[in-house]
């Protein structure tokens, strides 16, 4: 209410509704533009990463040599998680910094053979392009990438296009190397051998986890301090009820 005249203000609800509708439409359009720009950027970086991987494929002679050495695959790309740590500055302030160089954890583009892209600016985590961004569940979700395709899918498409018969194509597989703590992209030419190798690795990891769980279980104390005190108090209470007084042990003097 106006403080000078005491008359109530007059609202133009029709104009307010029109203003709200216009603002909502404008906000929706701006959001759509941002989403489209983000999709275009991610698609571009994903394609450039695929091209970088393809440009670093082993030669025919190298693959033949590895096959003679009974190998079924070779690693052609890696992605490390962008982990951070606390760093104390000389002035005493604490800041969060990446543990590894940006080139090992992020990707900002690929310009060709003499690529010198700075991966510290406008970059996307490599592991997100390998597996997808994390969903609300905390798990990597390929559907969060444009078209639901990871860089692994794009590389597979490019490899398949190199062969007249798709069945003769290389196969690419993405695996997590727990020992190295990195995601690896492997070029596979002997899928049967690859599957057998991965089965052995999975069995070895499962055995190690079971042994570790057993060791942790056996190392647990047989009785907690609280349980010990409760048992001691119960024994004392029983002795008192039977008419006995527990004897306290004393150290013998010198």
pLDDT tens digit string along 54-85?
Answer: 999 999 999 999 999 999 999 999 999 999 99
Dihedral class, residue 109 (left if φ above 0, else alpha if ψ from -120 to 50, else beta): left
Place of tokens 């024994």: 235
pLDDT below 50 — which residues of the chain?
1-2, 249-250, 252-254
DSSP 25-50: HHHHHHHHHHHHHHHHHHHHHHHHHH
What φ, ψ does residue 39 adopt, rounded to 5°?
-65, -45
pLDDT at position 198, please? 87
The DSSP call for residue 92 is S
CA–centroid distance for 60 within its chain: 33
CA atoms within 13 A on the CB side of 150: 19
pLDDT at position 135, please? 87
pLDDT at position 219, please? 67
Longest Cα–Cα distance in the chain: 100
Measure the CA angle with vertex 59, ends 157 and 153; round to 5°.
Answer: 15
For residue 187, list its beta bridge partners: 74, 172
CB of 104 within 8 A of CB of 83?
no
CB of 146 within 8 A of CB of 43?
yes
- Could you tell me the pTM of the whole model? 0.73
- 10 Å CB burial of residue 211 (0-12, 13-18, 19+) is exposed
Q: How many other C-beta atoms are found inside a 10 Å radius of the C-beta of residue 185?
A: 19
CA–centroid distance for 123 within its chain: 16
pLDDT at position 242, please? 61
pLDDT tens digit string along 181-208?
Answer: 999 999 999 999 998 888 888 888 888 8
């Amino acid at each position: 209410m106006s403080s000078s005249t005491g008359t109530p203000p007059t609202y133009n609800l029709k104009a307010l509704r029109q203003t709200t509708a216009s603002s909502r439409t404008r906000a929706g359009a701006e959001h759509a533009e941002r989403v489209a720009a983000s999709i275009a950027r991610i698609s571009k970086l994903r394609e450039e990463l695929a091209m970088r991987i393809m440009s670093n494929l082993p030669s025919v002679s190298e693959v033949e040599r590895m096959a003679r050495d009974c190998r079924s695959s070779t690693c052609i790309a890696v992605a490390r998680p962008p982990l951070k740590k606390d760093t104390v500055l000389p002035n005493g302030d604490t800041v969060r910094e990446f543990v590894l160089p940006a080139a090992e954890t992020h990707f900002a583009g690929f310009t060709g053979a003499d690529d010198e892209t700075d991966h510290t600016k406008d970059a996307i985590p490599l592991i997100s392009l390998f597996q997808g961004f994390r969903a609300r569940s905390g798990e990597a979700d390929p559907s969060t990438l444009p078209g639901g395709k990871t860089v692994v899918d794009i590389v597979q498409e490019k490899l398949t296009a190199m062969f007249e018969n798709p069945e003769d194509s290389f196969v690419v597989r993405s695996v997590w190397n727990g020992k190295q703590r990195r995601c690896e992209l492997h070029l596979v030419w002997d899928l049967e051998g690859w599957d057998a190798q991965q089965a052995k690795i999975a069995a070895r990891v499962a055995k190690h986890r079971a042994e570790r769980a057993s060791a942790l279980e056996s190392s647990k104390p047989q009785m907690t301090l609280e349980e010990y005190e409760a048992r001691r108090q119960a024994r004392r209470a029983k002795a008192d009820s039977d008419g006995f007084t527990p004897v306290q042990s004393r150290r013998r003097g010198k």
